[in-house]
Amino acid sequence: MRATVTIDQELCKGCVLCVPVCPPGVLVMSETVNRKGYRYPLLLDGCTGCELCAKVCPDFCFEVYREPNPHAGDRLA
């Protein structure tokens, strides 16, 4: 399954709760800070859409989007 998240960087308080809960480890904290002075997470490739980041974030920074795999019915040649 392909998935992605959007991250509201300006809502983030830099608590870093989201980074260790991400099973594939595709969240990393930024080097730069938002307008409130906090580092915020950035998304790398490989999100599975598990929603753990959205569940753990106290500030509701994440929205998760899943798309069905368009090749799910294909057979390998």
Binding residues for ligand SF4, total number by CB under 6 A: 29
User: Cα 12 to the chain's mean position, in Å?
Assistant: 13
The yes or no reply on residue 20 touching ligand SF4 (CB under 6 A) is no
**Cβ closest to ligand SF4, residue 37 vs residue 73:** 37
66 is a contact residue toward ligand SF4 (CB under 6 A): no
Query: Do the Cβ atoms of 49 and 66 come closer than 8 Å?
Result: yes
Distance between alpha carbon 3 and the CA centroid of its chain, in Å? Answer: 9
Provide the minimum distance between the beta carbon of 76 and ligand SF4 in the complex, in angstroms, as a whole number.
25
The answer to whether 59 and 7 have CB atoms below 8 angstroms apart is: no
Identify residues 28-47 at the interface with ligand SF4 (CB under 6 A).
Answer: 40-41, 43, 47
Task: Give CA–CA dist 20/22, Å, rounded.
Answer: 6
User: Would you tell me how many other CB atoms lie within 10 Å of the CB of residue 50?
Assistant: 17
Q: Which residues lie near ligand SF4 (CB under 6 A)?
A: 5, 12-18, 21-24, 26-27, 40-41, 43, 47-53, 56-57, 59, 61, 64
